[in-house]
């Protein structure tokens, strides 16, 4: 059984969660500098990341390798069909938005750019916490 993050510390807990999935975070960001920056930041937290430049690429990774959540940039916004497919996976979604977003949806988080840092990590922690899978 995977321990709760509050009980054992986030870094130790997340490394155990990521072992249960071949891919941890599936990242879709078109801007290569932003994508590399987020991959680096998540890597410092020992999270495995599958970087993609489109939502369709992220969906392909999810269908072949699994994952525990998506981080999707809205610049440019993925097509409606891709958004529907992302939501239908049941994985938590973290949307990177250009302005403050007050909408709150189940299993969906909105993080304003360029204020990523700790806000993005908080959204990742929350997303993973609600989607941690038990090892089989």
The percent of residues in the chain predicted with pLDDT above 70, rounded, is 73
* Phi/psi of residue 62, nearest 5 degrees: -60, -40
Map out the domains of the chain as residue ranges.
5-129
Distance in angstroms (rounded) separating the CA atoms of residues 44 and 101? 27
Average pLDDT, the chain: 78
- Amino acid 62: pLDDT: 92
What is 10-48 written as a DSSP string?
HHHHHHHHHHTSS--EEEE-SSHHHHHHHHHHHHHTT--
Distance in angstroms (rounded) separating the CA atoms of residues 2 and 42? 20
- Amino acid 60: pLDDT: 93
Task: Identify the band that residue 46 occupies on the pLDDT scale cut at 50, 70 and 90.
Answer: confident
Q: Does the pLDDT of residue 68 top 80, yes or no?
A: yes
* pLDDT tens per residue, range 89-104: 999 999 998 876 555 5
Q: Of the ranges 87-91, 119-123, 130-134, which one carries the lowest mean pLDDT score? A: 130-134
In DSSP terms, 52 is beta-bridged to 28
CATH fold of the domain at 5-129: Rossmann fold (3.40.50)
For the entire predicted model, the pTM comes to 0.73
Contact criterion met (CB below 8 Å) for 55 and 28: yes
Q: Which of 80, 76, 75, 68 has the alpha carbon at shortest distance from 21? A: 68
């Amino acid at each position: 059984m995977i321990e709760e993050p509050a009980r054992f510390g986030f870094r130790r807990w997340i490394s155990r969660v990521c072992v249960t999935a071949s891919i941890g975070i599936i990242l879709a960001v078109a801007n290569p500098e932003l994508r590399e920056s987020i991959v680096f930041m998540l890597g410092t937290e020992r999270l495995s990341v599958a970087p993609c430049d489109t939502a369709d690429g992220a969906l392909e990774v999810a269908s072949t390798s699994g994952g525990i959540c998506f981080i999707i940039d809205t610049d440019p916004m993925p097509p409606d069909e891709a958004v529907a497919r992302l939501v239908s996976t049941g994985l938590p979604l973290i949307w990177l938005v250009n302005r403050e977003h007050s909408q709150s949806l189940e299993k969906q988080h909105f993080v304003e750019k360029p204020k990523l840092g700790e806000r993005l990590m908080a959204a990742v922690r929350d997303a993973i916490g609600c989607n941690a899978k038990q090892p089989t």
